[in-house]
Structure 1
Amino acid sequence: MANFLETDRLVLRAFTAADTDHLLALDSDPEVMRFINGGRPTSRQAIETRVLPRLLHDHPCWGARGYRAALEKTTGTFLGWFEFRPLEEHSPAVVELGYRLNRAAWGRGYATEGSRALIRKGFTDLRVERVTANTMAVNTGSRRVMEKSGLSFLRSFTGDWPEAIGGSEHGEVEYELTREVWARAR
């Protein structure tokens, strides 16, 4: 299977059903899931019936997936995943950037490295016009990755979530980067 993208330290490739155990381990870490669902693990059944089908979905505008497994380039170690998916199935104009990495990968620059590479590929090869990303307002680590990747704060908002988790009372934030701003900064 061909890799979607490589950086100095990362390989981003399509997910397969063989990644189930990697995803289960990732989503079983309470710290990884802290800003997603308050730290609850995801069951194997949920990985197999909900998570993996979402990660395997091909978007018609690209004929490709919007989620990629992230591997450490020299060892092949599974680090987590990156999301770079169109918000509308048939238009690549606006994509959402996201990432979920295991704790061993935190603080090592992988999230920024992968995000920058995806943004560059989106603007140069995939007809992307705008990249957006969001997180809980209190998720300072993720916000810093967005900023280091070139995105700028756009707005604060309050999501309508089925259940509150720690920090959700502070709301969410959205960041963005347009092709025009990215090209000027190069």
Structure 2
Amino acid sequence: MFPSNYTPPESGSESSGKYTKIKENEPVKLRILSEAITGYNYWTNDNKCIRSELRFESTPNIRDGEKQKHFWAFKVWNYNTKQIEIWEITQSSIRDTLWSYWKDDEYGDLRGYPLKITRTGKALETKYQVIAGQIKPLDEEIAIESANTPVNLHALYSGENPFAKHEDQAPSKAAFDEDF
């Protein structure tokens, strides 16, 4: 009935498979391709993520037991899925490690090398390990794919699809150097 190589798409919106997911004991290799955007987010009882550049003064309809979280978001190349994705990071342990690489004289700019992220444990026992790879130029194929896949990270703030192709959308820009 279906071709032998057919795999059904993930459920959810058209872009749901374009957000990086770090699953337990499944290392993910990424290459950051953009400057960061930063902000705060929270999840509603309707399972919707609400984001803002600034800390929320109130969080209507927030899930029980949840609180707003600080996040960083990047356009990335996922070597595992072989596609451009958005990596939204709320875990302070990951952000702290990336910050250390960013400030390190030998590593610096997070776009200069691949990263391998591994998640272990569940719930409150969850831990993340981030390992920087060798500093090297971006592969030409990835650079071409990145140029052909515009991502407007700022659309995350308004709840729009950051992968939507609109002529009136400005290219994704962030004040990474200014914020850090």
So what's the TM-score if we normalise by structure 1?
Answer: 0.26
Question: Higher strand fraction: Structure 1 or Structure 2?
Answer: 1
Higher relative contact order (CA 8 A, sep 6+): 2
- Indicate the structure (1 or 2) with the bigger Cα radius of gyration: 2
